[in-house]
Structure 1
Amino acid sequence: MEEEIKFIIDSTKEAMNKALSHLEKQLVNIRAGKASPSMLGSVMVNYYGNPTPLSQVANVNTPDGMTISIQPWEKGMIPEIEKGIHQANIGFNPMNNGESVIINVPPLTEERRKDLAKQAKAEAEEAKIGVRNDRKNANNDIKDLDVSEDMKKNLEIDIQNMTDEHIQKIELVYAKKEKEIMTV
């Protein structure tokens, strides 16, 4: 019985942590005004007939806060990289100088910042829903246990505390990202 209880608590905590780490991954993709190689994470390049992530055919870095530089390992890949960036539809206009592809990241307008903040809030809400669903699943598992009612109540309180803790972490992650987005 003790093992079942430990399993329910551990698997619930793991599921809630996954919701939090998924949120963090999603928020990385929301740009906050300064250039970052992760902005091109969704770009796929046609590499000898195979769609390949940009990071596997070129070195992507940011020489300054407003520029992304893409140095392909083969010069013949420059047109394919430009095409991949256009197809990814991320709002960037790549330029090439024969050696590399350069993207100037335009500064965000106030309206765009608000849209990005809304997008971040939606991601945070999704994570909260995931945590609440994990709580519900755990509580259902607890109801099926063959233990006293007091024990079930105590376990439900523990699960609720874990839920509150994770919701608070989600709020902190969101608040940090919103501040990053809204800072000019």
Structure 2
Amino acid sequence: MNEDIQFIIDSTKESMDAAIRHLEKQFANIRAGKATPAMLGSVMVDYYGSQTPLSQVANVNTPDGRTITVQPWEKNMIQEIERGIMYANLGFNPMNNGDTIIINVPPLTEERRINLAKQAKAEAEDAKIGVRSARKDANGDIKKADVSEDLQKNAEADIQNLTDKYVIKIDGALDVKEKEIMTI
């Protein structure tokens, strides 16, 4: 196979892998009832004038399935961390005991589960759009490549097969996440 075509296929595969990685990251932020440190992954804290991720100013743990504890590395950061958690608008009500911040993760209502499943579907659809966009770019590059018509058709078929595989991966990940969300 022509090395230009191989390069196009490899770069398309990388783009599609990136779409899958992004989807997995987004799925990690969608909570499914069980407390995980990833739930606070989007929390930013004002650390001496600059916005810093929570994980860089505190230790985040889950002692059980319903509780998240945040142990700041500096005691004077407790108020800022609480404020950051509230601003993140995650639906959590942080409480502190002077040393640590304790967050009780409420069980999900049926309505909230349905909304989270819709959110997961939307994220999966975004990932599919990313995969299809990579396919479109690759097909455009193949048409521009200085190769025979047969080679172009074969390359386009390879790109389509790649696209189909990644769409199946995305659907599988969505099924797993929906099952996780809907399980009480």
The CA distance in 1 between the partners of 2:160 and 2:144, in whole Å, is 17
1:140 CA drift (Å) = 1.2
The CA distance in 1 between the partners of 2:4 and 2:28, in whole Å, is 36
The CA distance in 2 between the partners of 1:146 and 1:50, in whole Å, is 51
Indicate the SS of the match to 2:90: coil
The CA distance in 2 between the partners of 1:138 and 1:76, in whole Å, is 52
The answer for the alignment partner of 2:108 in structure 1 is: 108
Q: Does 1:68 align with 2:68?
A: yes
The answer for the alignment partner of 1:145 in structure 2 is: 145
Give the direction of change, closer, same or farther, for the CA distance of 1:146–1:47 in structure 2 (3 Å limit): closer
Structure 1 stretches of at least 4 aligned residues deviating more than 6 Å after TM superposition:
none
Q: Does 1:136 align with 2:122?
A: no
Q: How many residues align?
A: 184
The CA distance in 2 between the partners of 1:47 and 1:60, in whole Å, is 16
1:150 CA drift (Å) = 1.6
Deviation per CA, 1:50-78: give whole Å up to 9, x if none. 22111111110000000000111111111
144-153 or 174-183, which deviates more = 144-153
Q: Does 1:30 align with 2:30?
A: yes
Indicate the SS of the match to 2:129: helix
The CA distance in 1 between the partners of 2:38 and 2:170, in whole Å, is 21
Indicate the SS of the match to 1:120: helix
Q: Does 1:157 align with 2:151?
A: no
Indicate the SS of the match to 1:153: helix
- The 5-angstrom pairing of residues 1-184 of structure 1 reads 2-184=2-184
Q: Which runs of 5+ in 1 are unaligned?
A: none
What is the TM-score normalised by the length of structure 2? 0.97
Question: Which amino acid in the other structure matches residue 59 of structure 2?
Answer: N
Q: Which runs of 5+ in 2 are unaligned?
A: none
1:128 CA drift (Å) = 0.5
The CA distance in 2 between the partners of 1:145 and 1:48, in whole Å, is 53
Deviation per CA, 1:112-140: give whole Å up to 9, x if none. 00000000000000111111111111111
The CA distance in 1 between the partners of 2:51 and 2:141, in whole Å, is 43
Question: Which amino acid in the other structure matches residue 123 of structure 2?
Answer: E
The CA distance in 2 between the partners of 1:135 and 1:33, in whole Å, is 36
